[in-house]
Each structure stands twice: as C-alpha cells, then as structure tokens.
Structure 1
Amino acid sequence: MYTNVSSSVLLSLAPLGISDASIYPAFVFGTITYLLIMFFNLLVLAAIVVSKKLHKPMFILLFNLPITDMMGATAFFPHLIYSIVTQDRQISQPACITQAFLIHFYGGGNLLILSSMAYDRYVAICCPLRYNAVMTPHNLIKIITSIWLITFSTVVALILLLARFKMCKTHVVDLFCNNPSLLKLVCDDIRVNNSYGLVIMCLIQGGTLGIIIYTYLQILRTCVMTNHPDARRKAIQTCGSHLVVFLLLEFNSVITLIAHRIESASPYMRRVLGVSVVIFPPFFDPIIYGLKITELKQSIKRFLRRSVVSIKG
C-alpha cells in the first residue's frame, strides 16, 4: 500500500568527510564557487538581453542554458554550504525531493538545450540558404517551449512515481538528493520506477546523443568540404566548444546513473561524478561560450564597460 511521504522525518545525506581544520577553507571555496557560477551565468544572460546583435536563434537558445545552470547550482550549493558550516547533513524529505526535482530538471533541460543548439549550428553550417526559413521566430518558440515542457513533464512524472512510497530508510547514499538515491530508501516494489527511469534515460540522453552525433558528423563533413578556411575555422571553433560542454555533462551523468544500477560500483566514484555534474557545467558553460564565441565575448566586454562607466558616473 502506498502512502505519502511524511515531512516530519529527516534524511541524512552522505558525510562530506571534512576535518575541523578544513571547514573554513571549504566554506570559502564553496561560497566563492557558487557566487562565481551565478555571476558568470547572469553576465551571459545580461549580455544577450542588452545586445540586439545577439537576438538571433543561436543566442536565444543559448539564453536558456544559464537559467538551467543556475537552477542546478542553486539546488546544490546553498545546502552544501550550510552543511559545511553546521556539519549537519540532515535534510527534510520535502526539501530532499525538491532538490532532486531541480537537479533532474537541470540535467534534462541542459541536454535538450544543447541538442537544440547543435541542430541550430547544423542548419546554419550545412544548410545556410535555408537557415532563415527553418529557424523562424515561430519555430524557435516551438523548440524552446518543447524543451521546457518535455523536461518538466518527465521530471514531474519521475518525482510523482517516487512520492507514492513511504520511505523505510533515512540514509541517502549520495552527497545530494536524486531519484536513484531516494529509491534506495524505499522497501516496496520499485520496478515501475526503475523501468520509467531507464526509458527516460534512453530517450533523453540517448536521443540527445544521437542528435549530437548526426549533426556533428554532417558539420564535420561540410567543414572538410568547404573551400573557405575562415568559415571552416569559425565553425570548428564554435562547434568544438559546444561539443566539450555536451560531452562533459553527458559522460558524467550517464556514468553516475549507471553506477546506481551496479551494486559493485564504487560509491566514491559515483559521488565524485555526481557532484561534478552539478559543479563543472554551470561553472564552465558561461566561460567556454563567453571566450570562444566572438560575438558573445564582445557583447560581454561592452556590457562590463558600460556597467563600470555607469558605476563611476
């Protein structure tokens, strides 16, 4: 019989293993990392908003990436920083489920956004004469709406399937809450949850990987065949940055999810890769795109100069 999760029970996250002497450095490092993530991503958002030159499909799609990155970082860092200071790893069940929802939303949203950006680059490089006809404002709205609806609906279903159960254990095996670790706290039959999670993992992660592979093979083919070295260099530079961002998220998240299904997998490896999913992409995404995409880098510089001038004035 399924019952609702009780909010009075506290769960315990895996210990951080920080010594007393390392509490202050860890607190400073965690706080600075979170603030930098928020600053870099807000900077990218602001640069895209204020620069009319960036009001193009590629940058409008990119605009969604910092939003999900900040969502993932905010789901993870504030509680982590609190835990470092208090050395208290307890978290309420509603807070734990909310954290799991936000982190899964961040991961799924990022993959879909990155695959849509790959499609945009594919059309721009491989079918340049059809670009304006394909990436119309109407189609762009449909792509962005689909990204958010697919992510929201799949993650809500994931959490609702989990919330049917009453948890019989309280020790979360990971450093943050996620669906696989929460399912380990359930003593009922979770075959439906496991099957749904496997299907969603194959569809979203397998589907986005398929899109990336196809579009980049076509882009590579076009770049090899083109007779314009400057165009080829710019295309490879832009797409190379995009590919690094995607593979960083895809590899770490897939290995982490698979490790949860293999009993003999190292808990340490799973925790390290799991944490890397919510730290590295939000931190490096704005840096990689800000440095490698010339138009965005110039817009960020102009925005910072105007901000400094307005503050001095």
Structure 2
Amino acid sequence: MENYTYNSNLLLLEGLQVTQESMYPVFLFFLSSYIFIMASNIGIVVLIFIERALHQPMYFLFCNLSLNDIIGNSITIPRLLIDFWAPSSGHYITYAECVVQAFATHIYGTTSHTILMIMAFDRYVAICNPLRYTTIMSTRMVVKLTVSAWGAAFLLVAILLGLTLRLNRCRTFISNPYCDNASLFKLSCEDVSINNIYGLSFTVVLFTSSIGSVLVTYTKITAVCLINQNKSLNSKAFRTCATHLVIYLVMLWCSFVIIILHRFPEYSYYRKIAALLFHVIPGSLNPVIYGVQCKEIRKYIFTSRKISPVF
C-alpha cells in the first residue's frame, strides 16, 4: 500500500533537469535573460514616468505590461537560478511559498492578455476617433482600464487557486520547474473535477475574450484606414498598431505552445522548457519591440528630441 504524507508543509520541487554539460550555458542564459528583462523593463517604466512628453495614455498602459513582466519573471527565474546549484533532492519549497508563486504565475499569464486587450482599445480610439481621443482616454479612463485589467485577472486567479486550496494534500512532489495551479491540485488525492472544469472554462473565456476583442478592434481599424485612405493616418496607425500586434502574437504563440504540449505527456520536458520561455521571451521582447521600435521613445533615448503626441 502506498504511503502518503497528508498536508505536508514542505514540498519537493523538481526544477529544471539539465545535464552536467549544459548546466552552465542554461544557467547563464536564464541569468542574462533575467538581468536584461529587469533592466530594460524598469528602464522603460522609469523613462515614461520621468519624461513629461511621454505622459500619454498609450505609454501609461504600456507600463502595465512592463510591470507585469517584472513581477512575473521575479517570482520564477530567481528561484530557478538558485535551484541550479542545489541537488535535485534538495529543491524544497514551503506550501505557502508555492501558493504565492502559483498565484503570481497565473496573474502574469492572465494579465498578459487583459493588458493587451486594453491597449488594443486605446489604439482603436486613437485611430477611429482621433478628435475625441483626449476626451475618451482621460486620466480617469486610463485608471479604469488599468484597474479592470488587473482586477479581472486577480478575481479569476483567486477563484482558481481558492478551489485548489480547499483540497487536502497527500503528495509532496511537484513535477514542474515552478509552482502553478495544476501542480498544486495534483498533490491531492481528492476529486479534482471542479478544478479541471473551472480551469478549462477559465482558459476558454480568457482566450475567447482576448482573441475576439483584438480581432474586432483590428477589423474596425483596418476598415477605417481603407475608407479614409489618409496616408498620414495610415502611417501612424501602422506604426503604433504593428508593435502592439507583434507583442500580442508572440504572447499568444507562447501560450498555445504550452497548451498543445500539455496534450502530449511524452513531451513533458519540452513543456517545462516552454513554460519557462513563456516568461522569458515576451519579457525580453516587449521592451525591445514596443520600446525601442516605438518612434517616440526611440527619439528620446537616442536623440533627446522633443516628442509630439502620437495622435
């Protein structure tokens, strides 16, 4: 008969299993990625807040994306780097720490969608209602959009983790590089049907809302550009929308890779790598694509020229 340890406060985290030969290159990759993510995203946030010319709704909304990348990577990568130097039998983590990590991980994934949704709305107003942009996208509206993006993610994830916390635990091993909701409820020997149903519903609602809102928004933006045939408007629309769309597609691609690999247990190792890259790739590319490629920010960084409003 199998022995179980009920409601143990100490869990064993598998971490990322790599060979002795690849340990140093992998460690350096994640370390350099983490340093770049922190430096670039913090730099973008500080630049936007201290430079008055960048005090525009588009940039304030983008700050949410940078803050999300900072939080999401800070909760997973440092712990991963520490575990590199500990034996596989010594990757212990307390249950409370695991819950906090799982909560932050799911907040990161959820707000990646909700923030890009409100940024799409901002681009829609700027291009389709340019004369009313400053009226619609007021400070109050920016605050409302920001609170709704984080608030919706917080509520959805709180319910997700709440359903898991009610379960008694009979296992202590987490087969993952970091803690997430699925890893936590798999520690239970109880019926987890409700968790699976809510988790699936959560994913369907989030992806449907995200893809649907972005698709509708860009359809309307495209229609306005085709009808007006204004070269100046179309140029600005392409410049500002292209960065947003590239970031969204990168994030969506990373999400789909993880979901697809979940369906193939034999590729569990690649799923774990993909789960880590879901944090690293968007977090590294977002400040480059949106920050450096954005004409207004690039002007300030490289030439310190005065910045004019986008619309």
TM-score by length of 1: 0.87
- In structure 2, the residue corresponding to 1:85 is in which secondary structure? coil
Change (3 A) 1:117 1:15: closer
Task: Give the counterpart of 2:225 among 219, 223, 226.
Answer: 223
Match of 1:191 in 2: 193
Partner of 1:241: 243
Equivalent residue number for residue 92 of structure 1: 94
Post-superposition Cα deviations, 1:243-286, rounded to whole Å, max 9, x if no partner, equal: 111122223224424544x3656313422321221111111101
In the TM superposition, what is the alpha-carbon distance from 1:204 to its structure 2 partner? 2.0
Distance (whole Å) between structure 1 residues aligned to residue 43 and residue 16 of structure 2:
34
Post-superposition offset of 1:154: 1.5
Question: After TM superposition, what 4+ stretches of structure 1 lie above 4 angstroms from structure 2?
Answer: none
Task: Specify which of 116, 119, 134 is matched with residue 117 of structure 1.
Answer: 119
Rounded to whole Å, the distance in 1 between the matches of 2:41 and 2:219 is 29
Alignment partner, residue 54 of structure 1: 54
Residue 130 (structure 2) pairs with residue 108 (structure 1): no
The amino acid across from 2:182 in the alignment is P
Contact map agreement 1:23 1:85 (CA 8 A) in 2: no
Q: CA deviation at 1:153?
A: 1.7
Match of 2:22 in 1: 22
Seen in structure 2, the aligned counterparts of structure 1 residues 29 and 265 have a Cα distance that, compared at 3 Å, is closer
> Any conservation in 2 of the 1:223–1:236 contact (CA below 8 Å)?
no
**Residues 13 and 178, structure 2, Cα contact 8 Å, conserved in 1:** no
Residues 73 and 116 from structure 1, CA distance in 2 versus in 1: closer, same or farther, beyond 3 angstroms?
same
> Is residue 83 from structure 1 mapped to residue 83 from structure 2 by the alignment?
yes
For residue 130 of structure 1, give the secondary structure of its aligned residue in structure 2: helix
After superposition, the Cα gap between the structure-2 partners of 1:40 and 1:193, relative to the gap in structure 1 and judged at 3 Å, is same
Q: Are 2:140 and 1:141 equivalent residues in the alignment?
A: no
Report Cα offsets for 1:155-199 as digits up to 9, x if no partner.
122112111122223332322211123222222111111121122
| Counterparts of 1:120 and 1:67, CA distance in 2 | 18
Q: CA deviation at 1:116?
A: 0.3
Q: Is 2:269 the counterpart of 1:268?
A: yes
CA RMSD, 1 decimal:
2.1
- 8 Å Cα contact 1:27-1:85 kept in structure 2: no
- Residue by residue over 1:274-307, the C-alpha shift from the partner in whole angstroms, topping out at 9 and shown as x without a partner, is 122111111110111112211122233468xxxx
Q: Percent identity of the aligned residues?
A: 32
Please list every run of 5 or more consecutive structure 1 residues that lacks an aligned counterpart in the other structure: 304-313
Matched residue type, 1:126: C
Query: Which amino acid counterpart does residue 163 of structure 1 have in structure 2?
Result: L
Query: How much has 1:224 moved relative to structure 2?
Result: 2.9
- For the 8 Å contact 2:117–2:210, the answer to whether it is kept is yes
* 2:173 aligned with 1:171: yes
Query: 1:197-216 deviations in whole A, cap 9, x for unaligned?
Result: 12221222221111111111
* C-alpha separation in 1, matches of 2:268 and 2:43: 36
Mark the CA change 1:265 to 1:147 in structure 2 (over 3 Å): closer, same or farther.
Answer: farther
Q: Residue 256 and residue 61 in structure 1: after superposition, are their counterparts in 2 closer, same or farther (change >3 A)?
A: same
Q: Is the 8 A contact 1:48 1:54 kept in 2?
A: yes
Matching residue of 1:309: none
- Establish whether residue 280 from structure 1 lines up as the match of residue 270 from structure 2: no
Report the AA paired with residue 285 of structure 1.
N
The code of the aligned residue for 1:35 comes to I
Q: Are 2:234 and 1:232 aligned?
A: yes
1:86 partner letter: A
Q: Does 1:212 align with 2:214?
A: yes
Aligned counterpart, 2:308: none
Corresponding residue SS for 1:10: strand
* Superposed CA offset, 1:83-135 (max 9, x none): 11224433332222211111111111121111100010011111212222321
1:31 aligns with 2:16: no
Are the counterparts in 2 of residues 238 and 292 from structure 1 also a CA contact under 8 Å? no
> Which amino acid in the other structure matches residue 155 of structure 1?
V
Deviation of the 1:14 alpha carbon: 4.6
Structure 2's unaligned 5+ residue stretches are 1-5, 305-311
- CA gap of 1:82–1:264, structure 2 versus 1, over 3 A, is closer
TM-score with structure 2 setting the length: 0.88
CA deviation after TM superposition for structure 1 residue 223, in Å: 2.5
